[in-house]
Amino acid sequence: MNRRLTPCWFFFSFLLLASLSAVAQDSAYTNKNALPEIGVVASDAISLDKEMIVGDAVMRQMRGQSPVIGDPVLTEYLQDLGNRLVVHAENAKFPFEFFWVDNDAINAFAFFGGHIGVHTGLMRRAETESELASVLAHEISHVTQRHIARKMQAQKRSSPLAIASLIGGMLIAIANPEAGMAAMQAGSAASAQMQIDYTRTNEQEADRIGISMLARAGFDVKGAADFFSTMAEQYRMASRPPARLLTHPLTETRIADARARAADYPSRRVMPSLQFELAKSRVKARYSFEPDYAVDYYKAELDKKAYKIKDAALYGLALAYMRNEDNQKALDIMRNVLLKNDPDNLFYLDAATDIFIALGEPLKAVELLTPHVALNPRNQVLALNQANALISASRYDEAISLLKDFLLVNKEHQIAYQLMSEAYQKDKRFSQMHQSKAEVYALYGAYTRAVDELQYAYNFAGEDHLQKQRIRARIKQFRDQEERLQRL
C-alpha cells in the first residue's frame, strides 16, 4: 500500500515563520543575568516544550508536501530501525518520528522535537543496514545534543528576525539543501555562518556519539566510515557535492576520525538484513526506477545472481511487474515463492493485498490478512491494508470499525483518516466524510481548511444534535491550536 501526501501549504508557512520569530525573540531578550537550567543543553535558547511544539508544526507542514512518502511498509521498517538505535541513545527527551522523503539526493536531516527524515536516494545507495543505521545514529545525536537549539543560543546577540531567517533557511534545507543555502545567505545572520545545519564541532560530536550508539545497538561500527566513503566517491564523480555534503561537510579528516573511532570497538560481523534488502528493493522499484527499467534491472540481477538475498530481488521484480500492471506475474512470485517461504512478512502481505485489489479480488486479500490482523490489529501495515481491502470489497462498516480502533492508539495517522474519509464517502455518510477530511487537513497544519470541512460536516449532520455538538467542539479545538501557534 502506498499513498502520496497531497501538497497543502496554505497559510501555514506564515504561521511557522511567526512561531520561529517568537522563539527567536524569547532567545534574544532572555535575561542575561539568568542562569541556564543545569543538565539541559541549550535550555535558555528554547525550552523542550517549545522545541516539541515547533517540531510538531514543522512536521505538519512536511506532511503536506508531496515529497513526503506515505508508505506504511517503509515507514514501519524505518521507525523500527530508528527505535533500535534510540533505546541506546543518551538524553533522549522525545518520542522520535522517522519518515521518508521521495528525493534521489543522498541526504537525511533532523529537526526540532525528534523528527528525522531520510531521502530515498540515501537508502538506494546504502550498501548495508549498518550504513543506514550510522546515518540515523548521527541524526539522532544531533537531536539528543540539541544542536539547533545550541546554534540559536550562539546567535543570541543577533536580532530576532535574523535568527528566524537563519532557522528558516535550515527548514527550507530539509527538502532542498541548495535552496536552504540560498535562503541563509540572503539573511543578515547567515553571512558569517555558511554551513546550513551545524558547526564543525557539532558534526564531530554527532559522529562520536553516533558511532558509540551504533556499537551499543549491535551494528557494524565501520558503517559510518563506509558510508562516508560512498559520499566521497559520489563527490568525486559529480559536478557538485551530494545534498548531504552541503549540510554535513565531509573531509578526509572526518573519514579518518570515523575509522579511528571504529577501531576502538571490537570487530563485529553483521549478516545481511532481509528487511533492509526488502526496503531497498521497494525504494528502487517504486520510487527510483522507471517501471520498464525496474523489470529489466531485477531480471538481470536474478540472472547474474548479483543479489545479496534472492528473495529481496524477487520482491523487487514482483513490485516492478505491479507497476507495469502485469499483476498475474507479480502474484505468481508473491504466492508461490515469497509468501510460501515467509507467510508473516509484512512486505509480502502488503504487496499481495495491492495485487489482489488490482485484480479485482479484494476478498482474497481480506482472507489473507484476517489471521494476521487478529493477532496484531494495531500494526499499521496490517490494519491499513485490511481497511483498504475491505473498502474495495464494499464492506464499509468493517473498514470503519477497524480504522477507529487503529486511530485510538495512532491518533495522528493521515493515511488512516484518508481511508476513513474514502469509506464514509462511498457509504454516502457525508458528515463523517467531511469530519475525517478535517482531521487530514489538521495534520497538514491547514486549520482554516479543517474548519471549513467541519462546517460542511455540520450542515450534513441534519437533526443529529449530539454530532453537531461534537463538531462545534472540534472547531473550537482547531481554532485554539491555531491561536496557540500564533502566541508561541
* DSSP labels, 212-269: HHHHHTT--TTHHHHHHHHHHHHHHHSSS--HHHHHS---HHHHHHHHHHHHTS----
Q: Binding site: which residues?
A: 138, 142, 203
Q: Which helix (H) or strand (E) element contains residue 3?
A: strand 3-4
Give the tens place of pLDDT for each residue, 388-438: 999 999 999 999 999 999 999 999 999 999 999 999 999 999 999 999 999
267 φψ region: left (φ > 0), alpha (ψ -120 to 50), beta (else): beta
**For residue 450, pLDDT beyond 50:** yes
Average pLDDT, the chain: 82
**What cell does 115 get?**
523528527
Does the active-site annotation cover 207? yes
Q: Pairing state of beta strands 3-4 and 69-70?
A: antiparallel
Confidence of residue 3 (pLDDT cuts 50, 70, 90): low
Give the tens place of pLDDT for each residue, 76-134: 999 999 999 999 988 777 789 999 999 998 888 888 888 999 999 999 999 999 999 99
Residue 115 has what DSSP assignment?
E
Q: Comparing 90 with 324, which gets the higher pLDDT?
A: 324
CB atoms within 10 A of CB 303: 8
- Which candidate in 44, 139, 197, 220 is catalytic? 139
CATH superfamily ID and name for 288-487: Tetratricopeptide repeat domain (1.25.40.10)
Domain ranges within the chain, ordered by starting residue = 3-263, 288-487
Question: Of all residues in the chain, what percent carry a pLDDT higher than 70?
Answer: 75
Q: Pairing state of beta strands 115-119 and 97-101?
A: parallel
Closest to 152 in 3D by CA, of 38, 34, 23, 15: 23
The pLDDT of residue 30: 42
Q: In whole angstroms, how far apart are CA 201 and each of 41, 109, 207, 296?
A: 15, 17, 10, 46
- Which candidate in 56, 76, 197, 207 is catalytic? 207
Confidence of residue 51 (pLDDT cuts 50, 70, 90): confident
Q: Is 85 in contact with 140 (CB distance < 8 Å)?
A: yes
Average pLDDT over residues 289-313: 97
Q: Comparing 9 with 328, which gets the higher pLDDT?
A: 328
Q: Binding site for Zn(2+): which residues?
A: 138, 142, 203
What are the DSSP calls for 424-464, one per residue? HHHTT-HHHHHHHHHHHHHHTT-HHHHHHHHHHHHHHTTT-
Cα–Cα dist 242/106, whole Å:
6
Question: Of all residues in the chain, what percent carry a pLDDT higher than 90?
Answer: 56
Looking at residue 310, its amino acid is K
**Burial group, residue 267, by CB count within 10 angstroms (0-12, 13-18, 19+):** exposed
Does the active-site annotation cover 220? no
Give the tens place of pLDDT for each residue, 262-298: 888 888 889 999 999 999 999 999 999 999 999 999 9
Q: Comparing 156 with 136, which gets the higher pLDDT?
A: 136
Q: Which of 14-23, 41-50, 429-438 has the lowest mean pLDDT?
A: 14-23
